[in-house]
Amino acid sequence: MTSRIVVHLDAIRENVSALAALAAPARTMFAVKADAYGHGLLPVARAGLDAGADSLAVLDVPAALAVRDAGIEVPLFAWLHGADTEFRPAIDSRVDLGVSSLRELERIATAGAERAAEVHLKIDTGLHRNGADPKDWPALVGAALDLERHGRVRIAGIWSHLADASPADDRAALDRFRAAVDIAGEMGVPLEGERRPVLHLAASSAGIRFPEARLDLVRFGIAAYGVSPFDDVDAPGLGMRGTLSMFADVIGVDGDVAVLEVGSADGIPPSVLGASGRGAEILLAGSRAAVLEVGLDTLRVRIPEGTTVALGDEAVVYGPHAGAPSVEDWAHWAATIGDEILARSSRRLPRHYTG
Ligand SMILES: *Cc1c(COP(=O)(O)O)cnc(C)c1O
């Protein structure tokens, strides 16, 4: 074999299914942004939908259209729009659009689409990563109601994103969210009945630990990819399995050092050996081996004592295998978050799907 990434679709299905059961009766929107956190958009989207997610959070319009082009018909949510985003194909393909400002709303309403755009109005509840400022909220809601009367948009959702900085912050954000929903209700957005917009706020962290914030649906991302959003419990502790493995071939043996065929260009963070790094290990010949050097294309590791290693042997850099480090371990060693380890996991290595 050669060095490669293996994506465990069975683990993705198990994780999504467990999260969906936890969040129910709230529905599960599966976040597949950033090429499904480095796993590959389409196979992972399908696995999540098989396992009980009923919609996908795709980030932007191009990703949404790629999902539609692949024949996936579930509701799609895209919320990050550039100055050059063309909304018409998204609206005609029934992609739900997050809207943070009057400007965006106007661009969507005048996109020339054949149908009313399904918009989810975003209120900033404290994260300050787009979303309408509370002082601009009534104007945004008012404009959306007006456009709805003219058949240009439908207010399909009201949403926000939590900072997950602390339980107190999330609680305050939920209160701000509820206040914004109340304002929308007073202005004429129906909060009961069939035309009621879906309300959504929680991602993995609040979806797991803050039941009140689940509202109508939870946008689960990182936990479904087998990485805990918490510092005090790892993914197995939450009942989640790792979903991605990186394997590396031994391409050189030099005394007690083995050279592996992956490097920083494959997403191995060199910072594990830097000033803020904590060292790193891989699994080689059944034992943990210390990483000595991270090159662009190679890793040099100390061959574990009492083992023999030959050219062509295979090391596990990370993945859900007995004795192997996890993505979470690498995130800890590199003083970063698991999202980043996953997102960096090579575009260069061949990617295989199992399960
Ligand atoms: C990334 C993202 C999610 C998923 O967040 P996780 O913490 O990975 O579960 C949900 N909603 C939005 C808007 C996001 O950007």
Q: Is the CB of 221 under 6 A from ligand 1?
A: yes
Domains of the chain by range and CATH? 9-224 (3.20.20.10), 244-354 (2.40.37.10)
C-alpha angle 222-333-168 in degrees, rounded to nearest 5 = 50
How far, in Å, is the centroid of ligand 1 from the Cα of 32? 9
pLDDT score at 117: 98
Digit-coded pLDDT (tens) for 111-152: 999 999 999 999 999 988 889 999 999 999 999 999 999 999
pLDDT score at 173: 97
Residue type, 261: E
How far, in Å, is the centroid of ligand 1 from the Cα of 218? 9
Please name the residues in contact with 94: beta carbons below 8 A apart, sequence gap of 6 or more: 75, 76, 115, 118
Ligand 1 atom nearest 164 alpha carbon: 7
pLDDT score at 38: 95
C-alpha angle 89-92-93 in degrees, rounded to nearest 5 = 85
DSSP type of residue 262: -
If one residue of 19, 161, 215, 219 were mutated to test the ligand 1 pocket, choosing by the most ligand atoms within 8 A of its CB, it would be 219
pLDDT score at 1: 62
Q: Is the CB of 161 under 6 A from ligand 1?
A: yes
Q: What residues of the chain score a pLDDT lower than 70?
A: 1
Q: How many beta carbons lie within 10 A of that of residue 138, not counting itself?
A: 15
Helix, strand or coil for residue 330?
helix
Percent residues over pLDDT 70 in the chain: 100
Contact between 180 and 173 (Cβ < 8 Å): no
Name the residue among 1, 17, 3, 67 with its Cα closest to residue 243: 17
Region of 29 (left: φ > 0; alpha: ψ -120 to 50; beta: rest) is beta
Burial (CB < 10 A; 0-12, 13-18, 19+), residue 142, is middle
How far, in Å, is the centroid of ligand 1 from the Cα of 95? 18
What gap in Å lies between CA 221 and CA 31, rounded to an integer?
A: 5
Ligand 1 atom nearest 159 alpha carbon: 13
Digit-coded pLDDT (tens) for 153-201: 999 999 999 988 899 999 999 999 999 999 999 999 999 999 999 999 9
Q: Is the CB of 204 under 6 A from ligand 1?
A: yes
Q: What stretches of 94-164 show up as alpha helix (H) in DSSP?
A: 102-109, 137-149
DSSP type of residue 77: E
What gap in Å lies between CA 101 and CA 191, rounded to an integer?
A: 21
Q: What stretches of the chain show up as alpha helix (H) in DSSP?
A: 9-23, 33-37, 41-50, 61-69, 88-92, 102-109, 137-149, 167-187, 204-209, 327-333, 338-344
Q: Are strands 117-122 and 153-159 parallel, antiparallel or unpaired?
A: parallel
What gap in Å lies between CA 349 and CA 261, rounded to an integer?
A: 10
Please state, in angstroms and as integers, the Cα–Cα distance from residue 304 to each residue in 259, 291, 310, 313, 337, following that order. Answer: 13, 11, 13, 14, 28
Beta bridge partners of 316: 247, 283
Contact between 109 and 153 (Cβ < 8 Å): yes
Residue nearest to atom 4 of ligand 1 (CA): 221
Residue type, 26: A
What gap in Å lies between CA 275 and CA 262, rounded to an integer?
A: 22
Query: Whole-number mean pLDDT of the chain?
Result: 96
Please state, in angstroms and as integers, the Cα–Cα distance from residue 273 to each residue in 40, 150, 277, 345, following that order. Answer: 29, 60, 5, 18
